[in-house]
Structure 1
Amino acid sequence: MVKPMGKLTLSQGNATLDQVIQLLSKFNFPKSSNEVVKIKSELNDTKNFSILNSTFKVLQTTFVTEYNTNPHRVLCSTFFKKRVNVTIKFNVQGLNDIRLDKIWGNMIRYRAKSRDVLIKLDNILHNGSHTEEEKCISISYLYLASIDGVYGKNLKDVVIFDMLSKNEKVDYRKIERMKLGEIIEYFKNIEKSECLFDGWNEEIRNAIAHSSFWYDSNKQKIIYEERRKNIINEKTKEEVSEMIEKLTDIDELVFFYNQIFRIDKVIDDLR
């Protein structure tokens, strides 16, 4: 269990759970949200920790069921869940490391702010785009923002739990500074990690970052030109949207497990 310095009071615990309930509902996980409501009710009523532990396990199963809506999500959740579960079972000390609280906590907060910006950007781009060309330009910049805003940060969590599951010493400061290329290199020889990068395309990302792309109305495709490597990628708007969805799959998975650790702390602190 993650135990940052300072125990939560009942009032603080309730506030945390209320926020988690709101976030899960916002991300369209109603059944998972309902399980957190049950946990909050039990904490404020009989405070039966046998029931709380049981409901906490049901919550995790419920989320996986709600989350696994397509084959890509199944692959991602299987990969990450395995590492989280092994860490919880065999490396409590790793989770209790004070550096995890300070640095990992900051990473989570920064990522939450980036996620809020992405949601607002998505609304702005969709509402402000009318022609097919405008829609293609908008979705391209949303892809770039998703990668630079949260995708790389989410993968750092996967790196952390992969290392903790192997009982390896984690340098959280080093991971905080890891670039996406270094993360890709880290997972290069790790079996079944390919699902983490299904939505990632370096050439397309770079083309958008340098405004080196355009909409071809005849082909009805977006043309991405990576000039440094002289590489051309052609994608439909729907294909780019699918790539964004795969980045979102990673975000929602890591987001949920972050909430799991918040709930775990509330239950543990109020024993």
Structure 2
Amino acid sequence: MRSIIILIALLLAMASGTALGLPLQGSNENATVVIFGSSRMPVADENSTQEILKVDVGLMGADNSSYELLDQNDLAYYPGLYRPLSSGKQTVYFLTEIDSLFKLINVTPEGSDPINVKWWITPNASNDRIKVRYYGITDSSVNSDEQMLVLQVSVQNMANQSIYVTPYNFTLFDQWGWNYRPTMGFDAENVAPGSGTDRLLLGFTALPPVFRPAALAYDYGTPEAMVIEFEKDYVPLSDELVYGAASASNSVADNASAQAKMAAPAPVAQIANQTAASTEM
């Protein structure tokens, strides 16, 4: 019986992982850091302009580290909570502005030099009419019977005619290639030529406990279908996107954190209370 319980726990841990494929990695002469994935979740206050970003981190060569996360506007965020995991891993919680795009995480292992790790690019897929962007998981819950995911996307109309966008344009695939349709989401809308939607939410409920998202398709089953494959399309940002011009010197990278504007530290109690509530879902 005990072995069955352990197996279920392991499967749930696998299922609750994020949809990122390629881990991010950086090192110096003493330590190595690996960013395995991240996901977001809302705070308890529905009127808040902030959300919680959970980052799955592995650290080798050091017992502890400090973290600084930079967004696209060079605003710096610092952890409000750490949750130790086994084998040198931990979950690091940041309180960030809603819908922020990140470009760099600075990791400073205890007694060592900083390690700058470029963040993931925002995956997208397009044809001659439409571009779809995927912004990640914004909410999730899992128990021994099922799990729920909320994904965030946007659609840009590059054609010369309006397009009609509904949640049912999207199909989610698991690690075995099985497909799932949204069970909740945004209101359908007409998108004019040359314009795009705001960020849209797609909800998927009653997913299997061991479900892991592997790909998201738009207009699946049609000749113009587009697919974002998370393992292939989640790659690090380029130096040019992170540091500016392609000719940016290494000194710019080294000083990126020092020049960043500072966000207010996240209240530990707020994140702790929110993560506890999330665990109980």
TM-score bin, normalised by smaller chain: under 0.3
- TM-score of the aligned structures, taking structure 1 as reference length: 0.26
- TM-score of the aligned structures, taking structure 2 as reference length: 0.25
Higher percent of residues as helix: 1
Higher percent of residues as strand: 2
